[in-house]
Structure 1
Amino acid sequence: MAILKFRVYFEEDDSVYRDIAIRHKQSFLNLHEAILKAFEFDSKHQATFYRSNDQWQRGREITLEPYDKQYRAAPLLMKETTIGSEIKDTNQRFIYTYDFTKGWTFLIELINVSKEENPKLTYPAMVRKEGIAPSQYGTKSLLGERFADVEEKYDLTKGAEGFGEEGEEGVDDQEASADDTGTDTGDEF
């Protein structure tokens, strides 16, 4: 059984992407769910795929369900359409749009075809993750966006190299000894 590996780029920043491996007999519904999981989005909104070409033009639509809009050709349904049936060439591309109000758009590119399944994976599977996924609802931390940049750059997780507690114990000891000796620390007016 063929395993297809797709690179799913966040349209607004191509340094943010996820690689997803999926069996060619699995459906676009499976790919839809894998993309949402990979980018940590919920599944509460409308979604559609478009078959695409090298210029990222939108072609035949593969929808979650038929929507109340005009179609040039009747859309295919995600749950009924296998991935392999829509692969027309070795560089096949798709455009994925999620939450039509917000307009989240992802560019999907076939990057590898393999005959070997990895027995350790449950398909579809995210096999590579690059960049920080956008926040679906635009929520920000209390410290704002700048902290996320610093955190990513310096890896501020507890116990990370360079961010331990060494060297901090001497500060209190120095202040205490300065008070004991009567030395002016400059705190009093």
Structure 2
Amino acid sequence: MIYRFRAILDNDTEDDIFRDIEIRETDSLEDLHNAITQSFGFEGLEMASFYISNEDWEQGEEISMYDVSEGHNDTRTMSETILNTVLDQSQTKLIYVYDFLSMWTFLVELAEIVEETEGTDYPNLMFVHGQIPDSAPEKTFEAENFDDDLNEFNDDELDVDDYSDLDFDENWN
């Protein structure tokens, strides 16, 4: 079977920027990563991750390019994760982040599952709409209870020059 995806650049402009991509359900997330980066004109050399998403586009489990957990926990990697093991008709949404310094963010949705067309090479770029900007759209991040966390410390009680309560030797070198 063939998965048809729409990868939409998550931006705050009025212009929609997206690519429609066909790929085999038995290909890996790494294959989808390569198809997305190529279709948007990226070199594909930067770190990236997919995040399983719910209907409200909330970020869930991360599936990264490389296992950077250093053995502390089980993480899935793109190359080991087959598309049909994370996506189907009931689970259709992924968030894709490319280049963690620039934070290019894409909403990737499985739009349709169809039969393979004989003579078509996959992955297949079906449709291109909009030009990607020169730099990634700026993101605004909201920290929950950020002010509450800052106010947790009373400035009168905090003495930055007092090392007596710290568990280290201030003259260590």
TM-score using structure 2 length:
0.71
2:30·2:78 contact (CA, 8 Å) conserved in 1?
Answer: yes
Which residue is 2:130 aligned to? 131
Which residue is 1:30 aligned to? 31
TM-score using structure 1 length:
0.65
After superposition, where does 1:1-189 map in structure 2 within 5 Å?
2-12=1-11, 13=13, 15-67=16-68, 74-90=74-90, 92-114=92-114, 116-135=115-134
Query: Any runs of at least 4 consecutive aligned residues in structure 1 with deviations exceeding 3 A, and if so which?
Result: 88-91
Q: Hey, what's the Cα distance between the residues in 2 that align with 1:120 and 1:28?
A: 23
2:103·2:136 contact (CA, 8 Å) conserved in 1?
Answer: no
Q: Hey, what's the Cα distance between the residues in 2 that align with 1:23 and 1:108?
A: 15
Unaligned runs of 5+ in 2: 138-173
1:90·1:110 contact (CA, 8 Å) conserved in 2?
Answer: no
SS at match of 2:36: helix
2:4·2:23 contact (CA, 8 Å) conserved in 1?
Answer: yes
* Alignment coverage as a number of residue pairs: 134
CA offsets 1:41-75 (integer angstroms, 9 cap, x no match): 01221000000011111111111002369x9x632
1:8·1:19 contact (CA, 8 Å) conserved in 2?
Answer: yes
Q: Identity of aligned pairs, percent?
A: 34
Q: Hey, what's the Cα distance between the residues in 2 that align with 1:90 and 1:15?
A: 25
Could you say if the C-alpha distance between residues 119 and 89 of structure 1 is closer, same or farther in structure 2, counting changes exceeding 3 Å? closer
Please identify which structure carries the higher helix content: 1
SS at match of 2:100: coil
Q: Hey, what's the Cα distance between the residues in 1 that align with 2:47 and 2:69?
A: 11
Aligned-residue CA RMSD (Å): 2.2
Could you say if the C-alpha distance between residues 15 and 137 of structure 1 is closer, same or farther in structure 2, counting changes exceeding 3 Å? closer
